[in-house]
């Protein structure tokens, strides 16, 4: 089933490539079908998933390149299944958000479906080689999606994104190779590696000095993932990529791609290199706190809506880092939940920014020349305002909406760890700042006297409403009752935590 979910978009891509050029509508509907099937399968996955089993489920495993012990090994556990569900959902919705793309329709949707394959693969792969393959596969469509269909500085953004991520992934490649060759037995099987912890206590020589092997591996992997998260100071690709990417791509970027970083850390660094993880936990938490505050401060200074949302992602991913570094039930579960919740709420934000961009063709809160950008548009677009408010409040962690639960769990977990208490208290400043920049933005964009330029602004159409509705529902429902998602992950997280407790 996982393979189906992964490769049906690829099939869709091939179909699209074969479609005639002058039938964009066919292309779009093909894309809908190619993402709908994985979504439906995702629902089935959600229903069939055995929540009490902490191990890998829906395993698909066969030998692929026996010479190197490389397997085609797919499966989901509690860490990956929320991400898988998020991926299929957002991919499906993004097809609709991309409906208005009208140049290079074929290429766009083909790339988009290819991207979905990559994302699905990353979350399902349990063989390091396979994982790496999918990880890199995502890079190419992303590069083109940003570079071709992006905004004004698209090329710079695309190349920056590409360079950054490639830099991260080559480090990962080295670690992967090292794990294979230094590990006994030689294997890429992540599950087996997690069971054996073959690297603790060994050393590796680099530049004539002996280093603890697991720490070197940990750092290498971490940098690779941190670039994706993005952890300060590897974050500077993110505002560019987000701002320049087309709406749907921003959604995927923020909603799914960022999570791959933290997912990777949970999937690899934690179980495979537990001692190094403990060693680095404080640093990780510190980076998380820096992310939270730094992102928030930077967001506050932005005058571009999308950039603001982009920086808010930096801030929100900091919570994930903090939660993970706590090794507590609440903290780690909260981190995974935050990955999911941020996926939905930030996706909403980006979709909404896209909606307004489609109409106004700019996103300035304050125009670069200092004049007022948007202003007082609430009266013109009440539905848009309402939905935006939901997204915004979810994003700032208003209780009753999904963001709160995960943030609360992260903080509850982090404060339960004496060594992190100071940092946690400092991080709590992020809650205040989060509210500050979001509300300030809301005020400047939506409230106050109407800027006469926008008196003809039209409210959202049905397509846009329907795109956002599922996310809205998710944000509210999970804010009230998060247990369904928590159930998916909790047993796996508990198993993960046994290593550290």
Q: Which is nearer to other proteins, 92 or 234 (CB)?
A: 234
The span from the first CA to the last CA of the chain, in angstroms, equals 34
| Binding window for other proteins (CB under 8 A); candidates: 24-32, 36-44, 137-145, 340-348 | 137-145
Query: Does 292 interact with other proteins (rule: CB under 8 A)?
Result: no
Nearer to other proteins, 353 or 401 (CB): 401
Please report whether residue 462 would count as binding other proteins according to CB under 8 A: no
Among 11, 15, 140, 360, binds other proteins (CB under 8 A): 140
Q: Give CA–CA dist 270/276, Å, rounded.
A: 8
Q: Centre a 10 Å sphere on the Cβ of residue 55 and count the other Cβ atoms it contains.
A: 13
Q: Which residues, 323 to 352, sit near other proteins by CB under 8 A? A: 326-331, 333
Least Cβ distance, residue 501 to other proteins (angstroms): 4
Binding-site member from 1, 19, 59, 412 for other proteins (CB under 8 A): 412
Contact partners, residue 18, CB within 8 Å, separation at least 6? none
CB nearer other proteins, residue 200 or residue 379: 379
User: Residue 41 or residue 70: which is nearer to other proteins going by CB?
Assistant: 70
Three-class DSSP labels, 5-69: HHHHHHHHHHHHHHCCCCCHHHHHHHHHHHHHHHHHHHHHHHHHCCCCCCCCEEEEEEEEEHHHC
Out of 20, 66, 368, 370, name the contact with other proteins by CB under 8 A. Answer: 66
| Shortest CB 207 distance to other proteins, Å | 6
Choosing from 128, 263, 411, 454, the residue that interacts with other proteins (CB under 8 A) is 411
Find the shortest distance in angstroms from Cβ 94 to other proteins: 21
> What Å distances lie between residue 215 and 48, 183, 226, CA to CA?
38, 14, 15
For residue 137, the minimal CB distance to other proteins (Å) is 6
Total binding residues for other proteins by CB under 8 A?
111
C-alpha pair distances (Å), 330 with each of 155, 334, 414: 42, 6, 8
59 or 140, CB closer to other proteins? 140
Residue 99 or 108: the one with the smaller Cβ distance to other proteins is 108
Q: 3-state SS string over 392-459?
A: HHHHCCCCCCHHHHHHHHHHHHHHCCHHHHHHHHHHCHHHHHHHHHHHHHHHHHHCCCCCHHHCCCCC
What would the two tokens of residue 164 be?
């950054």
Classify burial at 20, counting beta carbons within 10 Å of its beta carbon; exposed 0-12, middle 13-18, buried 19 or more: exposed
Q: Closest distance between other proteins and the C-beta of residue 127, in Å?
A: 13
Two tokens at 250? 């921003």
Q: Is 109 in the site for other proteins (CB under 8 A)?
A: no
Please report whether residue 402 would count as binding other proteins according to CB under 8 A.
Answer: no
DSSP lists the bridge partners of residue 62 as 72
- Output the smallest distance, CB 446 to other proteins, in A: 8
Residues β-bridged to residue 205: 210
CB of 397 to other proteins, least distance (A): 9
Footprint of other proteins on 214-243 (CB under 8 A) = 232-237, 239
CA 371 to CA 374: how far, in whole Å?
10
Six token digits for residue 470 = 């599922």
450 makes contact with other proteins (CB under 8 A): yes
Cα separation, 119 vs 317, whole angstroms: 18
Q: Does 69 bind other proteins (CB under 8 A)?
A: no
**Rounded least distance, CB 358 to other proteins, Å:** 22
- Contact between 377 and other proteins per CB under 8 A: no
List the interface residues with other proteins, window 153-172 (CB under 8 A): 154-156, 158-160, 162-164, 166-167, 170-171
Q: Which is nearer to other proteins, 160 or 363 (CB)?
A: 160
Report the residue number, 364 or 500, with the smaller CB distance to other proteins.
Answer: 500
Q: Residue 206: in which H helix or E strand, if any?
A: strand 203-206
CB of 264 to other proteins, least distance (A): 15
Residue number, 90 or 304, with CB nearest to other proteins: 304
Q: Is 490 in the site for other proteins (CB under 8 A)?
A: yes
**41 or 336, CB closer to other proteins?**
336
Instruction: State the Cα–Cα distance between residues 323 and 387, nearest whole angstrom.
Output: 28
Closest distance of CB 425 from other proteins, Å: 6
Report how far Cα 39 is from the mean position of its chain's Cα atoms: 18
**Piece of the chain touching other proteins by CB under 8 A; list 90-98, 266-274, 279-287, 371-379:** 371-379
What burial class does residue 304 get, using C-beta atoms within 10 Å of its C-beta: 0-12 exposed, 13-18 middle, 19+ buried? Answer: buried
Burial class (CB in 10 A: 0-12, 13-18, 19+), 156: middle
Dig out the tokens for 407 from the structure: 């943030």
Selected binder of other proteins within 11, 15, 19, 133 (CB under 8 A) = 133
Among 415, 472, 478, 488, binds other proteins (CB under 8 A): 415
Q: Considering the complex, what minimum distance in angstroms separates the CB of residue 111 from other proteins?
A: 10
Contacting other proteins (CB under 8 A), which of 1, 360, 429, 457? 429
Count of beta carbons in the 10 Å neighbourhood of residue 468 = 26
């Amino acid at each position: 089933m996982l393979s189906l979910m992964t490769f049906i978009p690829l099939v869709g891509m091939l179909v699209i490539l074969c479609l005639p050029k002058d039938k964009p509508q066919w292309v779009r509907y093909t894309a809908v079908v190619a993402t709908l099937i994985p979504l439906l399968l995702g629902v089935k996955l959600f229903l069939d998933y055995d929540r009490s089993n902490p191990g890998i489920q829906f395993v698909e495993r066969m030998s692929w390149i026996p010479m190197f012990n490389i397997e085609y090994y797919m499966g989901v556990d509690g860490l990956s299944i929320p991400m898988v569900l998020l991926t299929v959902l957002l991919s499906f919705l993004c097809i609709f958000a991309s409906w208005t793309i009208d140049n290079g329709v074929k290429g766009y949707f083909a790339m988009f479906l290819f991207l979905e394959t990559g994302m699905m693969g990353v979350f399902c792969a349990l063989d390091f080689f396979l994982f790496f393959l999918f990880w890199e596969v995502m890079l190419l469509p992303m590069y083109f999606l940003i570079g071709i269909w992006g905004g004004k500085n698209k090329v710079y953004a695309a190349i920056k994104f590409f360079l950054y991520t490639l830099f991260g992934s080559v480090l990962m490649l080295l670690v992967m190779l090292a794990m294979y060759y230094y590990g006994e037995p030689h294997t890429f099987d992540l599950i087996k590696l997690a069971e054996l912890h073959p690297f603790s206590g060994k050393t590796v020589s680099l530049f004539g000095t002996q280093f603890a092997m697991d720490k070197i591996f940990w750092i290498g992997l971490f940098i690779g993932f941190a670039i994706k998260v993005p952890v300060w100071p590897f974050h500077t690709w993110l505002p560019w990529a987000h701002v320049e990417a087309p709406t749907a791509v921003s959604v995927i970027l923020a909603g799914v791609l960022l999570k791959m970083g933290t997912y990777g850390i949970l999937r690899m660094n934690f179980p495979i290199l537990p001692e190094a993880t403990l060693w680095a936990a404080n640093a990780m938490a510190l980076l998380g706190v820096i992310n939270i505050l730094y992102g928030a401060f930077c967001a506050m200074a932005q005058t571009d809506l999308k950039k603001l949302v982009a920086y808010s992602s930096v801030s929100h991913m900091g919570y994930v880092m903090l939660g993970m570094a706590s090794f507590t039930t609440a903290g780690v579960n909260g981190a995974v939940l935050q990955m999911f919740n941020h996926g939905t709420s930030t996706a909403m934000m980006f979709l909404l920014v896209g909606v307004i961009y489609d109409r106004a063709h700019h996103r300035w809160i304050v125009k670069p020349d200092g004049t007022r950008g948007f202003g007082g548009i609430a009266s013109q677009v009440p539905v848009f305002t309402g939905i935006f408010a939901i997204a915004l409040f979810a994003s700032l962690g208003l209780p009753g909406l999904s963001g709160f639960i995960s943030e609360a769990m992260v903080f509850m977990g982090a404060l339960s760890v004496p060594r992190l208490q100071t940092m946690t208290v400092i991080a709590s400043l992020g809650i205040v700042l989060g509210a500050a920049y979001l509300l300030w933005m809301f005020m400047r964009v939506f409230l106050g006297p109407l800027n006469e330029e926008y008196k003809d602004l039209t409210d959202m159409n049905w397509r846009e409403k329907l795109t956002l509705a599922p996310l809205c529902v998710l944000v509210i429902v999970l804010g009230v009752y998060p247990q369904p998602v928590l159930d998916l992950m909790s047993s796996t997280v508990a198993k993960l935590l046994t290593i550290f407790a």
